[in-house]
């Protein structure tokens, strides 16, 4: 596979991880706040997000954004004439 496709694939995987982390916050953790109460949930959030979570979320967010921008730049500047042609029966390109 060519570099543009690899960059696109890695960017999609990074963004998928970011979506998964956001869904975890929205679906699991926010409803828990109502059951635990504000003070207990605040302590839970501080323990989880300010420990290993801060490095994980920062790396994931910045990394996914950078990969997406790099993949877009490489894809837009790539020479279409250099790409291999699809088989004759394909009408996607």
Average pLDDT over residues 57-63: 91
pLDDT of 83 > 70? The answer is: no
pLDDT digits (tens, 9 = 90+) for 4-19: 889 999 999 999 999 9
pLDDT digits (tens, 9 = 90+) for 27-55: 888 888 888 888 998 888 888 778 777 88
Tell me the three state secondary structure of residue 29: helix
Query: Is the model more confident about 62 or about 78?
Result: 62
Rounded to the nearest 10 degrees, the angle between the axes of helix 38-49 and helix 52-77 is 60
* pLDDT value, residue 14: 93
Q: Which of these, 26, 8, 16, lies nearest to 76 by C-alpha position?
A: 8
Measured between alpha carbons, how far is 75 from 8 in angstroms, rounded to an integer? 8
Using CA atoms, how far residue 51 sits from 18, 41, 78, in Å, is: 18, 15, 41
* pLDDT value, residue 1: 58
């Amino acid at each position: 596979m060519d570099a543009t496709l690899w960059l696109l694939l890695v960017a999609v995987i990074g963004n998928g991880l970011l979506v998964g982390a956001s869904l975890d916050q929205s679906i699991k953790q926010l409803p828990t706040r109502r059951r635990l109460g504000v003070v207990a949930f605040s302590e839970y959030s501080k323990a989880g997000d300010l420990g290993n979570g801060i490095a994980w979320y920062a790396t994931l967010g910045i990394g996914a954004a950078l990969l997406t921008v790099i993949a877009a730049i490489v894809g837009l500047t790539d020479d279409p004439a250099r790409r291999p042609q699809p088989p004759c029966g394909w009408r996607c390109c």
